[in-house]
């Protein structure tokens, strides 16, 4: 097959961008002619994938998206591809669309927390414009006739797709996100101890790790307050990631009486080791499509303690590889306390989480599912 991916920027740091890199390389190794239309193509084997550079303004987001969208529509029209695979509404030329989120659904969640965010008026307005533009592009592509093949990453995203857009009998296949189990895996005891020592953590500390930006949407406030409600000095929260509103969360840690037990670790180049050296993944997010961090944490042997949202509801089997939590700090604290006091539950859940990833959530598995999806529309 002759395949084109439409993604604004490709790398192995961001969730949807990483998915393109991983799948595109694997499809190329399977003998397909794979092209990528992107502004940046980082951490990608360009001997396998042909990159078509798409110059344009990288900021603000609205200019980045809209200029790419227009150029992609024009340039893809000049080629004859069997598959044009867009990640979200990046081009109207797509006949296959991976859906990482539904913008109106995401906007509904963001609106709940907008009043608490301490961000500039310009940033707030810029984000609003971006969400309006991407929502309009979604509607135009997702309700187009003939409909593309939709590849939502979770059952919840499929539900939102049908809720917000009249897709009728359009073809839909769920193709989840995944983890590279050669990178994300449990670590040796010596590596765990060395990493903890550098972070100021003790070997006997029980470390809950949280990962990501957009802290209001991901519920970091709940994680911090939950730690504050657990009167155990060895229970720590490691925050991997950053947010423009970081000072408000530092103040929150102080107010919760947990500042000495919350470590703000910033964005990490050692994310795989940070996960593997922790004890469980704490993720009280309000909205995701299917968080890549969730799968990567599980691949590192951590139980996933998360809100029941898109993705986690497909992955977590309560009591076996994790637990569901409510958007309530007291309930989260109670769940964590039960796990901390059960010495055997956490390691056992972590092993089960890792086993599920290796069976169903590897990039090789996702690439095979994607290839089968292409064949379904071509035949």
Strand order in the sheet with 206-211: 262-266, 235-240, 206-211, 280-283, 304-307, 322-325
Q: Average pLDDT of each block of 10 consecutive residues along the chain (379 residues)? A: 97 88 97 98 97 95 97 97 98 97 90 76 87 96 96 97 95 97 97 98 97 94 98 97 94 96 96 98 96 97 98 98 98 97 93 98 98 95
| Cα–Cα distance measured from residue 95 to residue 342, given in angstroms and rounded to the nearest whole number | 50
Helix H segments across 199-283?
215-218, 220-228, 246-255, 271-276
Supply the pLDDT for residue 31: 97
Q: Which residues contact 136 (CB under 8 A, 6 or more apart)?
A: none
Overall fold of domain 2-178+362-378? Rossmann fold (3.40.50)
Enclosing H/E stretch for 77: none
pTM of the complete model: 0.93
pLDDT at residue 119, rounded to an integer: 73
Res 132: pLDDT: 95
Quick check: do 2-178+362-378 and 189-360 share a fold?
yes
The correct CATH number of 189-360 out of 3.40.190.10, 3.40.50.2000, 3.40.50.300, 2.40.340.10 is: 3.40.50.2000
Q: Which residues pair with 34 in a beta bridge?
A: 3, 49
The C-alpha angle with vertex 378 and arms to 373 and 379, in degrees rounded to 5, equals: 100
Question: Residue 105 forms beta bridges with which residues?
Answer: none
In this predicted structure, what is the pLDDT of residue 116?
72
The pLDDT of residue 379 = 87
Instruction: Answer whether the bond into residue 146 is a cis peptide, omega within 30°.
Output: yes
Per-domain residue ranges of the chain: 2-178+362-378, 189-360
How many Cβ atoms are within 10 Å of 65's Cβ, its own excluded? 20
> What is the pLDDT, as a whole number, of residue 343?
78
């Amino acid at each position: 097959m002759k395949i084109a991916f439409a993604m604004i920027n490709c790398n192995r740091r961001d969730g949807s961008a990483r998915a393109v890199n991983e799948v595109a390389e694997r499809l190329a190794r399977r003998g397909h002619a794979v092209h990528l239309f992107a502004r940046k193509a980082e951490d990608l084997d360009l001997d396998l994938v042909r990159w078509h550079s798409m110059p344009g303004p990288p900021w603000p987001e609205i200019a980045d998206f809209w200029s790419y969208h227009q150029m992609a529509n024009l340039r893809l029209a000049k080629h004859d591809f069997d598959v044009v695979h867009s990640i979200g509404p990046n081009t109207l030329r797509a006949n296959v669309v991976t859906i990482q989120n539904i913008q109106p659904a995401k906007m509904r969640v963001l609106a709940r927390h907008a009043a608490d965010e301490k961000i500039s008026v310009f940033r707030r307005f810029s984000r609003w414009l971006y969400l309006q533009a991407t929502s309009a592009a979604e509607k135009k592509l997702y309700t187009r006739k003939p409909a593309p093949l939709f590849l939502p990453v979770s059952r919840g995203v499929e539900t939102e797709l049908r809720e917000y857009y009249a897709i009728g009998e359009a073809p839909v296949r769920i193709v989840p996100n995944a983890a590279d189990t050669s990178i994300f895996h449990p670590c040796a005891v010596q590596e765990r101890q060395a990493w903890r020592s550098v972070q100021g953590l003790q070997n006997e500390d029980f470390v809950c790790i949280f990962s990501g930006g957009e802290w209001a949407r991901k519920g970091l406030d709940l994680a911090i307050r939950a730690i504050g409600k657990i009167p155990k000095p060895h229970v720590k929260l490691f925050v991997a990631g950053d947010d423009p509103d970081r000072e408000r969360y530092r103040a929150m840690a102080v107010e919760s009486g947990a500042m000495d037990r919350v470590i703000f670790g910033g964005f990490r180049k050692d994310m795989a080791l940070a996960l593997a050296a922790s004890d469980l993944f704490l993720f009280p997010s309000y909205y995701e499509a299917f968080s890549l961090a969730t799968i990567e944490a599980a691949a590192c042997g951590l139980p996933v303690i998360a809100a029941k949202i898109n993705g986690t509801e497909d992955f977590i089997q309560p009591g076996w590889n994790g637990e569901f939590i409510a958007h309530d700090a007291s309930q989260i604290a109670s769940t964590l306390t039960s796990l901390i006091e059960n010495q055997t539950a956490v390691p056992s859940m972590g092993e089960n989480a890792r086993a599920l990833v290796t069976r169903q959530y590897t990039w090789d598995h996702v690439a095979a599912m994607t290839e089968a999806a292409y064949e379904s529309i071509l035949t």
